[in-house]
Amino acid sequence: MSQLNRLARGGRIDRSRRLSFTFNGKRYQGHAGDTLASALLANGVDIVNRSFKYSRPRGIVAAGAEEPNAVVQLGKTEAGQVPNVRATQQALFDGLEARSTNGWPNVQRDLMSLVGKLGGQFMPPGFYYKTFMAPASLWMTYEKYIRKSAGLGRSPMENDPDIYDHLHQHCDVLVIGAGPAGLTAALAAARSGARVILVDEQEEMGGSLLDTRELLDDKPADQWVTEALKELAGLDNVTLLPRTTANGYHDHHFVTLHERRTEHLAETAPLKDGRRQVRSRMHRVRAGRVVLATGAHERPLVYGNNDVPGNLLAGAVSTYVRRYGVVPGKRLVLSTSNDHAYRAALDWLESGREVVAIADVRANPDGELVEQARAQGIRIIEGAAVIEAKGDSRVSGARVAKVDLDGFRVAGAVETLDCDTIASSGGYSPVIHLASHTGARPTWRDDILGFVPTLVKGVSAAGGAQGVYATAEVLADGVEAGRQAATEAGLPAASVSLPRVAARRDGTACALYQVPHEKPTLRGPKQFVDLQNDVTAAGIEVATREGFESIEHVKRYTAMGFGTDQGKLGNINGMAIAARLLGRSIPEVGTTVFRPNYTPVTFGAIVGRHCRELFDPERYTAMHQWHVEHGAEFEEVGQWKRPWYFPRQVNGKTETMHEAVARECRAVREAVGILDASTLGKIDIQGPDAREFLGRVYTNKWAQLAPGRVRYGLMCKDDGMVFDDGTTSCLGANHFLMTTTTGGAAGVLEWLELWHQTEWPELDVYFTSVTDHWATMTVTGPEARKLMAEITDIDLDKEAFKFMDWREGTVAGVPARVFRISFTGELAYEINVQANYALHVWETLFAHGDKYGLTPYGTETMHVLRAEKGFIIAGQETDGSVTPEDLGMHWAVGYDKPFSWIGQRALTRPDTARTDRKQLVGLKPRDAKVVLEEGAQIVFDPNHAIPMPMVGHVTSSYYSPTLDSGFALAVVKGGQQKMGETVYLPMADGQVHEAEIVSPIFLDPKGERQNV
């Protein structure tokens, strides 16, 4: 297939390497060095998409990140689908498959375009808000329809086979953009010895120097680029990142860079040296200083039907001709407000095709490029502009007329020129997106007709990014920025000798945004401002007429600058139009805020390696493998994986959770069970004031606790609300071991440090986490003592080793501390050994435990057993609004302690002291088979009109095999005074459960079972 727009020579493509690709199912040829866009243009593909709202045919407009139309879906395979790719940024590779994201049944014949033809009356700005908001219940239906017709691309439905990752980078100077300013900035900083990262979003570094007509040191500019890059690549202190977009500028010079490492090679990353390689990588850069050398985007002019394929940016025309050897048409009309755009006409002419005319809105253009065009015999129509493009699926002509900008009207006869391409240029907009991410509002400059970035400390801009456009000045500006950054980093300034660039005299540019038409804007042909979001000049006019005066409101009402486009081409034109309509200046109207990301970033790069089995840390105890091998189902408690229950095979069938838990519960109540309790937080507390400190952070008393004894404690915040609990053992007079809940471990340690460091630094005490050092196993049940006796040298006599004592000795030959504390209500020994020995101790227990019926149990059984005893779990019975008194734990509150401990004062505040607060109670369902839902709301009167006053909720609820009944813990208003009363739990399905308020202690209220 012939590439009808490909030039015989020129450009930076490799004509010896042919690549074949498909677009919308049709096969084409391109060359190595092409982008998808340049290859499509080479093949004469005019229509690349249908527009978002009006479904109008759209072609390629730009040559870089600012492309609004050619946003395609890539991917041959389902797993390889990538939406939102700009064809101008996608390097061509052999076998590439791309599709338009919009247009049904296809982009050539689109049924939706009827809507586009009918046009504005049908879909005015705010269309979605006005049409689809009522009834709200139908929004879901509307949304499906809108998405389908808008065709915003789609995500793959299969797992991505590629790998992605992050790299944490640190540098003295980050230079963003490797055009003339970025290259000299990097050279200046690098020669000073600074750690430099130079990043550029394009396939090749060099920016505008890759397609300029100018010579550097009398040689083609790209030769200088090659030399500069060679020097930079040879320096150890420089990291070059091509194909990498600086997408977000975050706080304190933290910049995220999205590097596409294999996207130019194939759909999925090819193997490298037999190993998988990273497809794209997020560099998380902490920079000392940043040089923004992001250049400028050319502004298109806003004229009638300026969206018909064949309307391009002037600079894009030059880039396609000079860099890719592609001339995207036969007959060109250029419409411009400045000299620089004349390059397009000169490049076009040199490629051997016809330049019909240049419409220059200025009265007397006289710069050097203008003179060159005149000398080439190009017709220049002065004081004029293209007011409307003719054509449907491709430009077929340009209507040109003299315009009176002050009166905003067409000032002369309209001439229709026969052409297939219209290039336009309304000047340049510095790329200020990244600077905007820092929160700094940009500043308008009349002399360059653009916003320049306002720079926070440590950031500088160079070249086009701050409105410096002449090549010689851009190169010098870069050196200055690079040198300054290096100096600020404390490094000596280095010299960079600049290449010679012939000075060029440019005429003054003229401010032109929307071009007047013979008809008023609302009745004339559509004049597009934001091509990607289908926002027209008329739309902005309607918005201002409807009273939207703030540019931020205009943006939201019209969708201008939304989404992945972020207003790269349209924002300044839109603001200028709003300003004219509102009778204000552009700086008065101001600009909207550009947000990250600059261009779309694949989720893979954002996620990096933090996915699948590395999504989140899984914390394991020393016995984890045993649990796995014994069929445990696991529950996530924080990041810990804890055995939930251990289902067994019974008669060839795996037990249900209900069956397994019932069996485990019975084992503990009737024989002996074992729980891996290693996940409990453990804090080693040492120091002469340790005891005093405990008295201040726990609600109960610690003054008398003797070495060898253990005590349960509640911790409150200073608002009097319980936030953690656990046992603390006195190891020595000045030495305690505190345990915390599994989830609370890190928080409690930080809490202790907070009080010690900020309020009570005079207390001599140290806290150190020993959670991971100890493995903890709870052996509990009536047979526990017999089992323990077989493998420990500790005297287990019930008088020598009482409930709430701890002793040290050996268990299974391993040094151990054993604690007689019980969370099950049964006789229990909690064994602590150094974790490296834990598996041996655990297995030894099983070797001896078989004859006693030793049964491993998990967290579910632990919950049932503790709830039967009315033992709370901080975070389940409590939620930050529950006091010790609400829990009925008056016994654990030391009101007469000398120091006003954390939480004490709040307990006497009127609201905290109310007697009708939600209080912990037990609930006994009237129907024993019912297991109430945790979280279910409780009412006193089920016949009350909705909304019923809700008086509490279920905090824990289980089936108890011991009671052979469902039972629950709950908080109920004034519940402690309502024993025996009935409450109701209306459920979503219409059922209403009845339950009796009872004591939260369902089993062995005197504690005789644990105290044996």
Partner 1 sequence: MSNVATFDTRTEAKIPVESPLAYSYRRSGAPAPTGKSRVVLRERPFLGHLILRGGAIVLDEAVREVLGVSLPGEPQGLVQDADGERSVQWLSPDEWLVIVPGGEEFTLENRLREALGDAHFAISNASGGQTLVELEGEAARELLMKSVIYDVHPSQFPVGKGVTTVFAKTTVILRRPDELRWELVVRRSFADYTYRWLLDAGDEYGIGVKG
Partner 2 sequence: MFYIHCPYCGELREEEEFHPKGQAHIARPEDPESCSDEEWGDYLFFRDNPRGIHHELWVHAVGCRKFFNITRHTVTYEILETYKMGEQPRFTAEHPEGRPSQDGVEPAPLREGVRA
Q: Can you give the binding site for partner 2, defined by CB under 8 A?
A: 250-254, 286, 439, 456-457, 718-719, 750, 753-754, 757-762, 900, 904-906, 909-910
DSSP string, 748-766: HHHHHHHHHHHT-TTS--E
Site map (CB under 8 A) of partner 1, residues 194-223, x = contact? -x----------------------------
Task: Based on the shown chain and the rule CB under 8 A, indicate whether residue 741 belongs to the binding site for partner 1.
Answer: no
Please work out the total of residues on this chain that contact partner 1, with binding judged by CB under 8 A.
64
Please tell me whether residue 731 binds partner 1 under the rule CB under 8 A: yes
Q: Which of residues 795-814 bind partner 1 (CB under 8 A)?
A: 808, 810, 812-814
Burial class (CB in 10 A: 0-12, 13-18, 19+), 480: middle
Nearer to partner 1, 491 or 983 (CB): 491
CA atoms within 13 A on the CB side of 512: 31
Nearer to partner 2, 127 or 760 (CB): 760
Amino acid making up residue 818: V
Instruction: Give which of partner 2, partner 1, none residue 15 binds (C-beta under 5 to 8 Å, depending on kind).
Output: none
Among partner 1, partner 2, none, what does residue 445 contact (CB within 5–8 Å per kind)? none
- Residue 803, contacted partner among partner 1, partner 2, none, CB below 5-8 A by kind: none
- In the bound state with partner 2, the residue whose beta carbon lies nearer, of 142 and 254, is 254
Residue 354 near residue 330 (C-beta atoms within 8 A): yes
**The two three-digit tokens of residue 639, written as one number:** 């990041």
| CA-closest candidate to residue 1003, choices 952, 974, 965 | 965
Half-sphere exposure of 696 (CA within 13 A, CB side): 16
Query: Of partner 2, partner 1, none, which one sits near residue 814, judging by CB under 5 to 8 A according to partner kind?
Result: partner 1
β-partners of residue 993 are: 985
Nearer to partner 2, 822 or 878 (CB): 878
Select from 154, 166, 213, 445 the one that contacts partner 1 (CB under 8 A). Answer: 166
Which DSSP string do the residues of 162-221 spell out, in sequence order?
A: -EEEEEEEEEEEEEE--SHHHHHHHHHHHHTT--EEEE-SSSSS-GGGGT-S-EETTEEH
Q: With contact defined as beta carbons under 8 Å apart, do 223 and 517 qualify?
A: no
Which C-beta is closer to partner 2: that of 23 or that of 751? 751
**Taking CB within 5 to 8 Å according to partner kind, which of partner 1, partner 2, none is near residue 754?**
partner 2
- Alpha helix (H) ranges present in 546-614? 551-558, 571-582, 586-589, 603-607
SS3 state of residue 701: coil
Residue 158 interacting partner from partner 1, partner 2, none (CB closer than 5 to 8 Å by kind): none
Q: How far is the CB of 678 from partner 1 (least distance, A)?
A: 8
Q: What is the closest distance, in whole angstroms, from the C-beta atom of residue 512 to partner 2 in the complex?
A: 36
Q: Cβ closer to partner 1: 76 or 709?
A: 709
Answer for the pair 131, 53: CB distance below 8 angstroms, yes or no.
no
Is 168 one of the binding residues for partner 1 (CB under 8 A)?
yes
- Shortest distance, position 433 Cβ to partner 2, whole Å: 18
Report the candidate in 1010, 567, 554 with the shortest Cα–Cα distance to residue 805.
1010
* x-or-dash string of contact with partner 1, 499-538, rule CB under 8 A: ----------------------------------------
Closest approach of Cβ 409 to partner 2, in Å? 44
Q: Which is nearer to partner 1, 471 or 771 (CB)?
A: 771
Q: Which of residues 814-853 bind partner 1 (CB under 8 A)?
A: 814-815, 817, 833-840
> What is the rounded distance in angstroms from the CA atom of residue 82 to the CA atom of residue 162?
12
The site partner of 910 among partner 1, partner 2, none (C-beta below 5 to 8 Å per kind) is partner 2
In the region spanning residues 611 to 640, those forming contacts with partner 1, defined by CB under 8 A, are 613-614, 616-622, 624-625, 640
Q: How far is the CB of 748 from partner 2 (least distance, A)?
A: 13
252-311 residues near partner 1, rule: CB under 8 A: 273, 275-278, 284, 286
Cα–Cα distance for residue pair 623/107, rounded to 1 Å: 61
Contacts of 664 (CB under 8 A, 6+ apart): 645, 646, 673, 855, 856, 857, 858, 860, 861
**Measured from the CB atom, is 549 or 719 closer to partner 2?**
719
Structure tokens at 341: 């755009």
Decide: is 758 part of the binding site for partner 1 (CB under 8 A).
Answer: no
Starting from the edge strand earliest in sequence, which strands make up the sheet with 735-740, in order? 710-716, 722-732, 735-740, 681-686, 766-769
In a 10 Å sphere around its CB, with 0-12 CB exposed, 13-18 middle and 19+ buried, how is residue 20 labelled? middle
Residue 808 binding partner per list partner 1, partner 2, none, with a CB distance cut-off of 5 to 8 Å that depends on partner kind? partner 1
- Residue 742 identity (one-letter amino acid): T
Stretch that binds partner 1, among 154-162, 379-387, 692-700, 770-778 (CB under 8 A): 770-778
Q: How far apart are CA 619 and CA 333, in angstroms?
A: 67
CB of 636 to partner 1, least distance (A): 13
Residues near 239 by Cβ (< 8 Å), separated by ≥ 6? 169, 171, 196, 197, 198
Dihedral of alpha carbons 593, 599, 600, 605, sign: negative
The one-letter amino acid at 27 = R
- Asked if 555 touches partner 1 (CB under 8 A), the answer is no
Which partner in partner 2, partner 1, none is near 762 (CB below 5 to 8 A by kind)? partner 2
**Residue ranges in 683-722 that form contacts with partner 1 under rule CB under 8 A:** 684, 686-688, 707-708
Smaller CB distance to partner 2: residue 250 or 264?
A: 250
Question: Rounded to the nearest 5 degrees, what angle is found at the Cα of 272, between the Cα atoms of 269 and 273?
Answer: 160
Which of partner 1, partner 2, none does 750 bind, CB closer than 5 to 8 A by kind? partner 2
**From 108, 768, 900, 915, residue interacting with partner 1 (rule: CB under 8 A):** 768
> Residue 609 binds which entry of partner 2, partner 1, none, with Cβ cut-offs from 5 to 8 Å by kind?
partner 1
Taking CB under 8 A as the criterion, the residue among 161, 732, 880, 1005 binding partner 1 is 732
Closest C-alpha to 949, from 934, 961, 959, 937: 937
Nearer to partner 2, 252 or 609 (CB): 252
**What minimum distance in Å lies between the beta carbon of 720 and partner 2?**
9
The interface with partner 1 within residues 575-614 (CB under 8 A) comprises: 609-610, 613-614
CA 531 to CA 511: how far, in whole Å?
A: 21
* Cβ distance to partner 1 smaller for residue 439 or 813: 813
Beta strand segments in 690-753, E: 710-716, 722-732, 735-740
Binds 634: which of partner 2, partner 1, none (CB < 5-8 Å by kind) = none
Burial code (b: 16+ CB inside 10 Å, e: under 16) for 291-305 equals bbbbbbbbbbbbbbb
Residues in the chain: 1012
Amino acid type, 369: L
Between 114 and 746, CB nearer to partner 2: 746
- For partner 2, which is the closer residue by CB, 253 or 402? 253
253 interface partner picked from partner 1, partner 2, none, CB below 5 to 8 A per type? partner 2
Tell me the one-letter amino acid at 75.
Answer: G
Helix (H) or strand (E) holding 277, with range, is: none
Q: 759 is in the binding site of which of partner 2, partner 1, none (Cβ under 5 to 8 A by kind)?
A: partner 2
| Cα Rg of the chain, angstroms | 37
Which parts of this chain interact with partner 1 (CB under 8 A)?
A: 165-170, 195, 273, 275-278, 284, 286, 609-610, 613-614, 616-622, 624-625, 640, 679, 684, 686-688, 707-708, 731-735, 764, 766, 768, 770-775, 808, 810, 812-815, 817, 833-840
